[in-house]
Structure 1
Amino acid sequence: MAILVLAEHDNASLKLDTAKVVTAAKAIGTEIHVLVAGHECAAVAAAAQQLDGVTRVLVADAAAYQAHLAENLAKLILELAPGYEHILASASSVGKDTLPRVAALLDVAQISEVLQVLSGDTFVRPIYAGNAMAKVQSLDDKKVLTVRASAFDATANGGNAGLETIDKVIEARTQFVSQSLTVSERPELGNAGIIVSGGRGMGSGENFAMLEALADSLGAAVGASRAAVDAGFVPNDLQVGQTGKIVAPDLYIAVGISGAIQHLAGMKDSKVIVAINKDPEAPIFQIADYGLTADLFEAIPELIAAIKA
């Protein structure tokens, strides 16, 4: 039962999500191949070779794959598809852009946001913003799956997979023009062990400096609710929730966040949830492990001072 996993990377380093998707693949079968498509990505391929459970790494190294355009990747995967029964990718922006195209070209149904693998054809995925779980069985010859990486632990290193070069270069009509990225020394939101998130209660974007100071004292990432993003307090790449990033850190600190269903869907799997809100009836307290009913503008400076003491 051969499985193809699309690697998530930036052409220089392999993202942790790939190791988590490999864990999901290991629950399906033992013949796991990782596709590394990019440009000047030898370091990424070497990292993929070390993932436990991976038996082969396929490398497509060409300028056409540098920007990871879905049109190019989907057609490349289509070329490789005859040799695989399962095709997996992280439910990231790249995976969610690429695999639906692959499924359409293969004329099969995609199963999205897989949280659990029950067997080679049966999976668990969330519905109704995560308020219910659906057990889905696929009878298609090829299973195309996006995996919610936060639901799986990363597979360990220690593997020694073989390397195979893919010479097929696919040029799509779509062209990469530019991208604007938020540069930060803090941990990446999707892989952070601790996340400090702010909501509409922060009042303004300037007040997020307080959360950034708290995050820096904890070595944490900074997140936000959709309400804070829509209000223009912070850029949308910090959004946690159903329409943002799905996270499951060891510690999630929600500050000034009421707890709308949209937000809870993105963070309720966190190991420990701490809520700080002046409204004792805020829904966030229903799922929080620890709650503090207080004015955040007093509580956060006191918390920072206590951490530094």
Structure 2
Amino acid sequence: MAGILVIGEVQDGHITPPTREALAMGHSLANASGAAVAVALIGSELSASGQEAIAAGADQAYTVEDALLAQPQIDLYLAAHQAVCAEATPDIVLLSRTDIGRELAPRLACRLGVSLLQDCLNLEIDADSGRLIATRPVYGGNVQAKVRSTGTPQVAAIRPKVCDPLDPDASRQGEVTPVAVALDAAMAKVTIVRQETSESAGVKLEDANIVVAGGRGLGGPDPFSELEELAGLLGAGIGASRAAVDAGWVPANWQIGLTGRTVTPDLYLTVGISGASQHMA
């Protein structure tokens, strides 16, 4: 195997939690295949992130540092990561299915001339063929299927929170390799006018050990105030089904499920939600 390349994300100069999870998945696959794990990091300030990624499980870090990469411009990100893939020549490319990953993964797979294993819940190496086998939801998440990629490199987007990150090991050694990429602002097809951050009050939904969620069965927006009060008493995150969000009863950043946020609480309390497998144990 030529190796495993994790497409990482950097925020405020540090690798993100989903990147750590993807590195852990890559490390698990490497143990089964004997391959090395590399990470691709792009941004405007990467002084610490390369060594940080090595401590989190990478054997090598490829970095593309450019002021144009300070903002999340998918066209520029795509060009940078395509250049890293050409440099690293991996057999497997892993991304986290974050907001950026959802846009980047299919574009990168297309540029590499291969199909994409999307929204993977688990990845394993087939003992006979050495190929990547992905477990992913189908039919709206009501069924899980095992699928295999036939192209090379094999590109897979992992759902966040399905893999625990490795404990950082500052003693791990690895090489940080800068990659020169000629980027131009004209490559970006979208202009970012402004950025707004919207967060619900209280515990961050993705990190909550307890989540309280409501759905269409509540009948309107008013009962959600009582759910918020309950969440506050329990120290819980507050969420909702897609139906409640589509009805305009609660903000979009409350949405949990296939098209919303991924949660992994120890306790999940739902009121007025039925049907969707994402809300079932």
Q: Considering the TM-score relative to the shorter chain, is it more than 0.5?
A: yes
* 1:106 correspondence with 2:112: yes
Deviation at 1:55, TM superposition (A): 1.1
Partner of 2:68: 64
Structure 1 unaligned blocks of 5 or more: 269-286, 288-309
1:88–1:146 contact (8 Å) kept in structure 2: yes
Instruction: Summarize deviations over 1:124-175 as a string: whole Å, max 9, x none.
Output: 2121122222221222120111001222222221153433333325232322
> Structure 1-normalised TM-score?
0.77
Letter of the structure 2 residue corresponding to residue 223 of structure 1: G
2:200–2:253 contact (8 Å) kept in structure 1: no
User: How far apart, in 1, do the equivalents of 2:212 and 2:206 lie?
Assistant: 12
Aligned partner (choices 168, 176, 183) of residue 170 of structure 1: 183
Find the residue that maps to 1:149 and give its secondary structure.
coil
1:192–1:249 contact (8 Å) kept in structure 2: yes
1:190–1:245 contact (8 Å) kept in structure 2: yes
1:16–1:191 contact (8 Å) kept in structure 2: no
User: How far apart, in 1, do the equivalents of 2:157 and 2:148 lie?
Assistant: 15
Partner of 1:33: 38
Instruction: Summarize deviations over 1:204-230 as a string: whole Å, max 9, x none.
Output: 445433333333333332211111111
User: How far apart, in 1, do the equivalents of 2:100 and 2:64 lie?
Assistant: 16
Aligned partner (choices 209, 221, 238) of residue 254 of structure 2: 238
Aligned partner (choices 148, 154, 158) of residue 159 of structure 2: 148
Structure 2 unaligned blocks of 5 or more: 126-130
Q: State the identity %.
A: 30
Partner of 1:280: none
Aligned partner (choices 183, 186, 199) of residue 199 of structure 2: 183
Partner of 2:211: 195
- The 5-angstrom pairing of residues 12-161 of structure 1 reads 12-29=13-30, 30-51=35-56, 53-82=57-86, 83=88, 84-119=90-125, 120-159=131-170, 160=172, 161=174
Find the residue that maps to 2:6 and give its secondary structure.
strand
Relative distance call for 1:94 and 1:131 in structure 2 (3 A) is same
Letter of the structure 2 residue corresponding to residue 91 of structure 1: R
* Larger relative contact order (CA 8 Å, sep ≥ 6): 2
User: How far apart, in 2, do the equivalents of 1:170 and 1:133 lie?
Assistant: 40
User: How far apart, in 2, do the equivalents of 1:9 and 1:221 lie?
Assistant: 25
User: How far apart, in 2, do the equivalents of 1:162 and 1:210 lie?
Assistant: 53
Relative distance call for 1:42 and 1:243 in structure 2 (3 A) is same
Partner of 2:128: none
1:62–1:169 contact (8 Å) kept in structure 2: no
Relative distance call for 1:116 and 1:54 in structure 2 (3 A) is same
Deviation at 1:46, TM superposition (A): 4.7
Relative distance call for 1:218 and 1:44 in structure 2 (3 A) is farther
Relative distance call for 1:166 and 1:186 in structure 2 (3 A) is farther
> Structure 2-normalised TM-score?
0.84
User: How far apart, in 2, do the equivalents of 1:206 and 1:181 lie?
Assistant: 25
2:74–2:188 contact (8 Å) kept in structure 1: no
User: How far apart, in 2, do the equivalents of 1:169 and 1:222 lie?
Assistant: 44
- The 5-angstrom pairing of residues 286-301 of structure 1 reads 287=281
User: How far apart, in 2, do the equivalents of 1:45 and 1:209 lie?
Assistant: 44
**Count of equivalent residues:** 264
Find the residue that maps to 2:211 and give its secondary structure.
strand
Letter of the structure 2 residue corresponding to residue 260 of structure 1: G
* 1:213 correspondence with 2:229: yes
1:48–1:57 contact (8 Å) kept in structure 2: yes
